[in-house]
Amino acid sequence: MSIVEVVKQRFTTKAYDASRKITAQQEQELLDILRYSPSSLNLQPWHFFAITSDEGKETILPGIRDFNAAKVRDSAMVVVFTSKDTLDDAQFSKVQQQEDLDGRFKDEETKNANDKGRRNYIAAYGGSDEDLRYWMERQTYISLGFLLLGAAAMGLNATPIEGIDPVLLDERLGLKEKGLHSLAVVAIGHNSEKDFNASLPKSRLSEETVITRL
């Protein structure tokens, strides 16, 4: 199946079959999709909570709006997307050290120039602390899109969920102490026969409405 066919066939799941789990290989592939998602300057300003246990789901359920609780409870995996509160020196250093380990620099001069360029870019265009926080949140949402597409390509169903109580969810996961805040949740698994959305035709605005060719 081509990537376009995957995009056209995927849909937002409304109900999951709690008896159907995902395999260990599928779980690892989903985590790989998250980790390899792109971000501007490769700064990866995120952290993902991958939850498959009933205990883990119970931990976050108080931070999920009631109308989304069943999706979280019945899905095979739930991913909580969190973004960093601030972009500190530790994050620059952590990314650079990993890039060095992965062999991205031909010499020390290249490594230092890359680090300097990244820091200078943020200093010049990052704006206020609030602007920078918003910028990091946008990077995190890129990974959410990758996960939705990746899950569909794997034959799995998924539901993006912004119906959360971020204050309560942050509290349940201890995010403030970790310098993080929650943005959204994605439930993944196999849909059930109660999923009315599975049989509905996909509907999108026309190409002429949303795309301008120049």
* Confidence at residue 122, expressed as pLDDT on a 0 to 100 scale: 96
Residue 1 in this model has a pLDDT that exceeds 90: no
Q: Which residues are catalytic?
A: 14, 71, 162
Looking at residue 130, what is its pLDDT? 96
Listed residue (124, 142, 118, 119) closest to 46, CA to CA: 142
Rounded to an integer, the average pLDDT of 101-112 is 97
Average pLDDT of the residues in 26-37:
98
Query: Taking the CB of residue 143, how many other CB atoms lie within 10 A of it?
Result: 24
- The token duo for 133 is 């926080």
Task: Please list the residues that pair with 46 across neighbouring strands.
Answer: 83
Query: What's 39's DSSP letter?
Result: -
Res 143: pLDDT: 98
pLDDT band at 112 (very low <50, low <70, confident <90, very high): very high
Question: In 3D, which of 198, 189, 181, 153 has the Cα closest to residue 57?
Answer: 189
Query: Rounded to an integer, what distance in angstroms lies between the CA atom of residue 106 and that of residue 98?
Result: 14
pTM of this structure: 0.96
| Burial class for 42, CB neighbours closer than 10 Å (0-12, 13-18, 19+) | middle
Contact 161, 63 (CB under 8 A): no
Torsion 196-66-178-132 (CA) sign: positive
Q: Which domains does the chain have, with CATH numbers?
A: 3-86+136-209 (3.40.109.10)
**Do 83 and 46 contact (CB within 8 A), yes or no?**
yes
Band of residue 68 on the pLDDT scale cut at 50, 70, 90: very high
| H or E element that contains 43 | none
> pLDDT tier at 51 (50, 70, 90 boundaries)?
very high
